[in-house]
Amino acid sequence: IHGKIRENPPKFIEDLDEIPFPARHLLSMELYDRKIEYLDVEPADVMNVVRGCPFDCNFCETKKIWGYTCRTFSPHRIVEEIKHLIDNYGSKGVYFIGDNFTVYKKRTLKFCELLKKNKIHIEWACDTRVDLVSRELLYEMKEAGCKTIWFGIESGSPNILKDINRGFTVEQAINAVKLCKKVGIRTACSFMIGMPGETIDDMMASFKLAKKLDPDWCQFNIYVACPGSKMYEEVLQKGLYDRRDDFLLYVKTENFNYESLLKIHKMFMDGLGRTPKRLLRALMRKLLKTLKPVKP
């Protein structure tokens, strides 16, 4: 307009079901290995089924991206896309990416019901919070093909959980993982180190919790401040970063620089990987993927 390019703000999509399936036909699918670590079958694909989050964690930039609402595709829409993946791409597994797959319990139960009603036999994994699962829900998810749930626990320190406004307790994390094990759903858990105000005692609390939970997969990440999050502004104001690029701040804490955090991260990951149970489970997963039924 008048020699200038003007950009309209993005249109807010209230009903996600209006969005067509991703244009996977434009990709050369044979170029991708289509393997997902948390599933035992292949080929496997990913689906995004939720935009936004009703929670307000200080480290997260989700609200900046998706707004202050949480929208999901309907259970029927999700099932239709799964059918599309099976019929057109031979999919045998799906990883549902998104902050909280089980944020709406009734919708999750309806999704599980539709999978069973339509006799869709597919393995799937999802991400959610430890305070958004129950024995009843997990049982139905297991019956509908859920293989693995990823929990972002972030810290084993009650003080840090409060500081980052995580909204759940250590006890809830322990209970969620315990329930998953009882119904037969595998678990993956992630933690962060290097958050503002975090001490070595806080970090050790996270490591001890990870050992206690003994999930099938576990990882520690060094906290990186993302624009749009409340903690990003705190890190900027306090100068709690070693270096920055155009997007991210590579943090330090009041007690540790980034190089120290790298060493702690390696120590924690090495310590987790050496437990006999974890090594045995990893070996069994590899064997199950390698072994093929003998033809009569």
pLDDT at res. 291: 46
pLDDT at res. 16: 94
Taking the C-alpha atoms of residue 72 and residue 69, their distance in angstroms, rounded to an integer, is 10
Give me Rg for the CA atoms of the chain. 21
Taking the C-alpha atoms of residue 84 and residue 171, their distance in angstroms, rounded to an integer, is 40
* pLDDT > 70 in the chain, percent: 91
Give 153-189 pLDDT, tens digit per residue: 999 999 999 999 999 999 999 999 999 999 999 999 9
Please list, residue by residue across 283-292, b when 16 or more beta carbons sit within 10 angstroms of its beta carbon and e when fewer do.
eebeeeeeee
Give 258-274 pLDDT, tens digit per residue: 889 999 999 999 888 75
Q: Supply 197's token pair.
A: 């105000």
Task: Tell me the H-state helices in 97-189.
Answer: 105-117, 135-143, 158-163, 170-183
Give 76-97 pLDDT, tens digit per residue: 999 999 999 999 999 999 999 9
CATH superfamily placement of domain 32-285: Aldolase class I (3.20.20.70)
Taking the C-alpha atoms of residue 148 and residue 167, their distance in angstroms, rounded to an integer, is 23
Taking the model in full, what pTM does it have? Answer: 0.88
Alpha-carbon 22 to chain mean position = 21
- Strands, DSSP E only, in the chain? 44-48, 50-51, 71-72, 93-97, 123-128, 146-154, 186-193, 217-222, 224-225, 241-244, 249-251
Domain ranges within the chain, ordered by starting residue: 32-285
Q: Supply 87's token pair.
A: 């019929």
